[in-house]
Amino acid sequence: MKKTVGYICLGIALLFQSCTSPTPSKKNDRPNIVLIMGDDMGYSDIGCYGGEIKTPRLDELAANGLRFTQFYNTARCCPTRASLLTGLYPQQAGIGHMVDDRGTPAFKGDLSTNAVTIAEVLKKAGYSTYMSGKWHLTPYVIDNPDKHNWPRQRGFDRFFGMISGAGSLYDPRSLTEDNEYVSPREGFYCTTDFTDYAVERIEEHEDDTPFFLYLSYTAAHWPMHAPAEAVAKYKGSYNHGWDEMRKNRFERMKKMRLTETEWELTPRDSLIQPWSEDIPDKEWELANMETYAAMVTLMDEGIGKVVNALKAKGELENTLIIYLQDNGACAEELEWVSKRTTEKDRVPLAPGELQTEMVPFFTRDGKPVGIMRKGWPGPPEGYTAYGRNWANASNTPFREYKHWVHEGGISSPLIVHWPAKINSGTSGIGGFRTEPAHLIDIMATCVDVSDSSYPTTFNGNKIQAMEGKSLFPAFSGSALEREAIYWEHEGNRAVRMGKWKLVSKADKRHSFVWDKIGELELQNWELFDMEQDRTEMHDLATKHPELVQKMAQMWLAWGKRTGIVPRPQ
């Protein structure tokens, strides 16, 4: 009898405890992860990295989080996306160049099955996985596409965006919802609609599991497209021109301590005319930069809506938000598109008809599309790029652009916001992290903070080991121990080891130089001290020949290991 009474009392106590104690969450306090990427933007474009463009939402995330000052991408859109989502160098993920097959596994142009995506890893760990925006990790095929490398087949529960890499922001080709091509709604604009879809996924998410959201904007990739009311806010803001813009940005960056006092502002690109009253098509040039700035601000407003959705759900505190950009500013002038002639048999698309052209011939309401100086920045009937002039200023204070692996091509802002772990008590919010880091580190970070397991095999395929390091220790100021970071894109090569960077620019004399056994020539290198000279103004290669040889050999060993060497012809 006493035993019976005891069991009853114990049961009542346990029942009372279950009613008064919080129910353990299936999330196990694992954070949501929101990964946001801008497209074709310079290192100093956003406000918290020295820009005059209005980005208050990103600035607020930075002020209440961390800014990495030496974070690197791969210098090009689809290789960056491959590296970001797999934690591998792009060649290991099968996309060493673009999404065309050049005949070797490293340059297949289609995401490798020997790689896993962040979505695939986190989905196995119980995360819900969502994507909104630009994919660009598999060839774009119009009829009967092979969908094995579409987002839904690579770990994402839901997807809305573009399979291909570029197009009108009002009427993009390859627009897709989940697994089917779709035509845009009336009034469609990429930045707005990609934001809205991301917000919907947050609002509809069931709270008992964590989620991973990848929001991949097309802003501010050409064409320069933005609604008139957004562009109007920047009218006259750039009348001082690109030279003054670079000078002002550099001064702000110095005051913000984003640059060191000994770093020099690189000279104006020699192909750029000094700003003056006799600039050709001056109003057109100004309209391009005004539109570009509007595109960035609209993206920032979209990020604000995502943050507000997290707040409304009570999820902001334990959500890791990561913001970055896919490559440096783009100097392209669209010469290859400008030569296109309108075919006489072309007609505007019918309502609901799929857009298959990267550069439409007509807008949806029947207006012919004008390319570069034949069009005007902003509305859908213009198809322009802001070009080398403004890109040089976007990349302040660095050399080169998208495509190249000097700092202007590969440097990206990286903002990390996570109130539960990054706060004044533990990490010094609003601070800088100067540790060199790379896209390969994002997968490792996601695996680390989510308590997930990176697989050795997946869907019957052997999976390559992660290349990156988790950035989580750096959140609290710890060093990241690594030997080096490497790059190769279109024959441009680089290796970063500690404070040293060895870099080689492919040009008409040195591009794709091979010896008789197919190995890249170990010449044409520049050596820079990134602590004293991150703007790459003073080549020290002749002063440190042994170091050049050592790092060049390191690069060659890496090139062989990742399948870059021997390079496809």
Distances in Å between the Cα of 492 and the Cα atoms of 36, 111, 405, 496, 512 are: 27, 22, 6, 14, 9
Higher pLDDT, 446 or 429: 446
On the question of pLDDT at 82 being above 90, the answer is yes
- Domain span at residue 549 reads 485-561
Same domain, 247 and 350: yes
Considering the chain, what is the average pLDDT of its residues? 92
Residue 56: Cβ within 10 Å count = 14
Which residue, of 455, 475, 495, is where some domain finishes? 475
Give me 275's structure tokens: 């700003």
Kindly state whether residue 4 falls inside one of the protein's structural domains.
no
Indicate the SS3 state at residue 41. Answer: coil
Cα–Cα distance for residue pair 277/303, rounded to 1 Å:
38
CATH number, position 193 = 3.40.720.10
Same domain, 448 and 522: no
Same domain, 296 and 317: yes
Residues 6+ apart with CB under 8 A from 352: 183
> Alpha helices, DSSP H only, in 21-92?
56-63, 77-86
Report pLDDT for 2.
39
Distances in Å between the Cα of 141 and the Cα atoms of 182, 418, 500 are: 14, 39, 43
Place of tokens 């970063």: 496
On the question of pLDDT at 14 being above 70, the answer is no
Question: What is the pLDDT averaged over residues 114-140?
Answer: 98
Which residue, of 475, 510, 540, is where some domain finishes? 475
Handedness of CA 201, 202, 205, 209 (dihedral sign): positive
Handedness of CA 331, 335, 338, 343 (dihedral sign): negative
Same domain, 385 and 419: yes
On the question of pLDDT at 494 being above 50, the answer is yes
Give me 438's structure tokens: 């790379």
Cα–Cα distance for residue pair 512/534, rounded to 1 Å:
26
Best mean pLDDT range from 2-6, 105-109, 275-279: 105-109
Min mean pLDDT across 27-31, 295-299, 320-324, 325-329 is at: 27-31
**Which tens digits make up the pLDDT trace of 143-188?**
999 999 999 999 999 999 999 999 999 999 999 999 999 999 999 9
Cα–Cα distance for residue pair 355/357, rounded to 1 Å:
6
**Which tens digits make up the pLDDT trace of 381-397?**
999 999 999 999 999 99
On the question of pLDDT at 512 being above 90, the answer is no
Give me 423's structure tokens: 């706060």
Kindly state whether residue 21 falls inside one of the protein's structural domains.
no
**What are the φ/ψ torsions at residue 490 (nearest 5 degrees)?**
55, 35
Planar angle of CA 544, 547, 552, nearest 5 degrees: 125
Cα–Cα distance for residue pair 291/145, rounded to 1 Å:
34
Q: Residue 336: enclosing H or E segment and its boundaries?
A: helix 335-338
On the question of pLDDT at 509 being above 50, the answer is no
Per-residue confidence band for 522, with pLDDT thresholds at 50, 70 and 90: low
pTM for the model: 0.93
Same domain, 340 and 460: yes
Q: Residue 395: enclosing H or E segment and its boundaries?
A: none
Same domain, 426 and 498: no
Kindly state whether residue 13 falls inside one of the protein's structural domains.
no
Kindly state whether residue 167 falls inside one of the protein's structural domains.
yes
How many alpha carbons lie under 13 Å from residue 496 in its C-beta half-sphere?
24
Report pLDDT for 545.
95
Burial code (b: 16+ CB inside 10 Å, e: under 16) for 497-535 equals: beebbbbbbbeeeeeeeeeeeeebebebbbbbbbeebbb
Give me 381's structure tokens: 């009937």
Same domain, 459 and 337: yes
Cis peptide before 119 (omega within 30 of 0): no
Beta pairing partners, 487: 494
Cα–Cα distance for residue pair 21/34, rounded to 1 Å:
30
Per-residue confidence band for 424, with pLDDT thresholds at 50, 70 and 90: confident
Per-residue confidence band for 16, with pLDDT thresholds at 50, 70 and 90: very low
Question: What is the pLDDT averaged over residues 507-526?
Answer: 56
Kindly state whether residue 404 falls inside one of the protein's structural domains.
yes
Give me 408's structure tokens: 């202007």
Cα–Cα distance for residue pair 567/491, rounded to 1 Å:
9
Higher pLDDT, 359 or 513: 359
Give me 251's structure tokens: 């001064």
Kindly state whether residue 349 falls inside one of the protein's structural domains.
yes
Q: How far apart are the first and last CA of the chain?
A: 88
Same domain, 234 and 343: yes
Closest of 356, 311, 298, 258 to residue 38, by C-alpha: 298
Percent of the chain exceeding pLDDT 90 equals: 86
Burial code (b: 16+ CB inside 10 Å, e: under 16) for 334-360 equals: beebeeeeeeeeeeebeeeeebeebbb
On the question of pLDDT at 447 being above 90, the answer is yes
Beta pairing partners, 161: 133, 176
On the question of pLDDT at 23 being above 90, the answer is no
CB 465 within 8 Å of CB 490 = no
Question: What is the pLDDT averaged over residues 399-410?
Answer: 98
Indicate the SS3 state at residue 438. Answer: strand
**Which tens digits make up the pLDDT trace of 328-343?**
999 999 988 877 776 6
Indicate the SS3 state at residue 200. Answer: helix
On the question of pLDDT at 25 being above 50, the answer is no
Higher pLDDT, 296 or 278: 296
Report pLDDT for 19.
37
Percent of the chain exceeding pLDDT 70 equals: 92
Cα–Cα distance for residue pair 59/413, rounded to 1 Å:
12
Per-residue confidence band for 507, with pLDDT thresholds at 50, 70 and 90: low
Kindly state whether residue 5 falls inside one of the protein's structural domains.
no
Same domain, 461 and 541: no
Give me 444's structure tokens: 């490792």
| Burial grade of 296 (CB within 10 A; 0-12, 13-18, 19 or more) | buried
Same domain, 338 and 300: yes
Distances in Å between the Cα of 213 and the Cα atoms of 195, 205, 242, 446 are: 11, 11, 36, 12
CATH number, position 528 = 3.30.1120.10
Question: What is the pLDDT averaged over residues 403-414?
Answer: 98
Kindly state whether residue 22 falls inside one of the protein's structural domains.
no
Same domain, 391 and 496: no
Structural domains in the chain (count): 2
Which residue, of 453, 475, 497, is where some domain finishes? 475
- The conformation of residue 370, written as its DSSP 8-state character, comes to E
Per-residue confidence band for 519, with pLDDT thresholds at 50, 70 and 90: low
Same domain, 310 and 399: yes
